[in-house]
Structure 1
Amino acid sequence: MRTQPTILIVDDFASTRKVVRSCLERAGFSVLEGTNGKDAMKILNQNSRISLVVTDLNMPEMDGIQLTQEVRSHDAYGSVPILLLTTEMRSNRKEEALRAGATALLPKPFTVEAFLEVVQKMLR
């Protein structure tokens, strides 16, 4: 039996993490949570089985772009796909995120269907 991918959710708002977790778990994924980029790096360093990182752009301590840059600098998990969720879709921020190594960006608010479609594409 094949195990479902593990997805790391990183967002400073508990309510957003709860909604994203619920959506992913209903779709059959295993989920881990971090509250900011620094927290996410600790989790990544302890879990080699993470298949996807879903992160907010704006967070305290280490934002989504800084987290993306940090993830990309590590051989062990540098190729893990990163989905940035953001309300900030100005082209300069999108370009900055993509230059940092984000795999995709999804504007908030999003539908469950659109979110799961992007997640499925990123895990192929």
Structure 2
Amino acid sequence: MRVLLVDDDAIHLLLLQKIFERENVTVEVARNGHEALRILEFDSDFSVILTDMMMPDMDGVEFLSHIHQSSQLSRIPIIGFTSGDLNFYKEKALDQLNFLVSKTSDFYELFTLAQESVA
């Protein structure tokens, strides 16, 4: 499995990266939506994308809209997470996500959802 993690919170990003790498998953990280799109422009061979929904400059909703404009990228399962209002993001983007969870969820829940997304 190969994962793209997108989060502006450096600590959260590092913790997720370590959990996935401990499970022998190849991980690429991006600190915002713009950086993630630059990575995807040159390398779209990801099994799943995990993205924060609340980020400065380009939030998760805008990031998802860019992803879904590309037939090649829109095939990649996406898991969103947020420390904000889940209902707000469900309304805005649930049709573009495979899963949406609270950022305070157990980190291993995100790993399990990623595995389910590629199964």
Question: TM-score, normalization: structure 1?
Answer: 0.89
Q: Matched residues, percent identical?
A: 27
Task: Please tell me whether residue 118 in structure 1 is matched to residue 99 in structure 2.
Answer: no
Equivalent residue, structure 2, for 1:71: 67
Cα RMSD of the aligned pairs, angstroms, is 1.3
**1:111/1:39 CA distance change after superposition, 3 Å:** same
Task: Please tell me whether residue 42 in structure 1 is matched to residue 38 in structure 2.
Answer: yes
Q: How far apart, CA to CA, are the structure 2 residues paired with 1:9 and 1:121? A: 16
- For residue 28 of structure 2, the aligned residue among 29, 32, 41 is 32
Equivalent residue, structure 2, for 1:95: 91
Aligned length: 119
Equivalent residue, structure 2, for 1:13: 9
- For residue 100 of structure 2, the aligned residue among 78, 81, 105 is 105
Q: Which amino acid aligns with 2:100?
A: L
Q: Is the 8 A contact 2:80 2:99 kept in 1?
A: yes
Q: Which runs of 4+ in 1 moved over 6 A?
A: none
Equivalent residue, structure 2, for 1:61: 57
Question: TM-score, normalization: structure 2?
Answer: 0.92
Q: Which amino acid aligns with 1:88?
A: G
Q: How far apart, CA to CA, are the structure 2 residues paired with 1:10 and 1:58? A: 11
**1:42/1:106 CA distance change after superposition, 3 Å:** same
